Amino acid sequence: KAKEKQGKSGAFTGKIVKVFSPKSNSVVILNFHEDYKKALTAVVESKNFSKFPKLTELKGKTVLVTGKFDTFKGAPQINLKTPDQLKVIK
């Protein structure tokens, strides 16, 4: 359903199963499924790392993500630019 929302703002809730950073260290990707192609991801670009200092601590936590739906290589994602876009749900 996320692909249908491309370009629109919205929100979703999910449990982070993996926090991934490629060797390039250009982004941190929050995966909500072991196979990232099967679920939406949340992405933080390197220019915004300082705003999200505890990303690695999010694995296993359920979060609310808000923002504009986008795609990268056909996979749906939301780019996180400000900390208020990511809230841990207790």
Each residue's pLDDT tens digit, 3-41: 667 788 999 999 999 999 998 889 999 999 998 888 899
Give percent of the chain with pLDDT exceeding 90: 71
pLDDT, averaged across the chain: 91
Q: pTM (2 decimals)? A: 0.89
**Which residues have C-beta within 8 Å of that of residue 31, sequence separation ≥ 6?**
16, 17, 18, 19, 20, 39, 41
User: CB pairs under 8 A, 24+ apart, for 27-35?
Assistant: 28/52, 28/55, 29/77, 30/55, 30/58, 30/63, 30/65
Bigger pLDDT: 36 vs 77:
77
On the question of pLDDT at 1 being above 80, the answer is no
Bigger pLDDT: 90 vs 47:
47
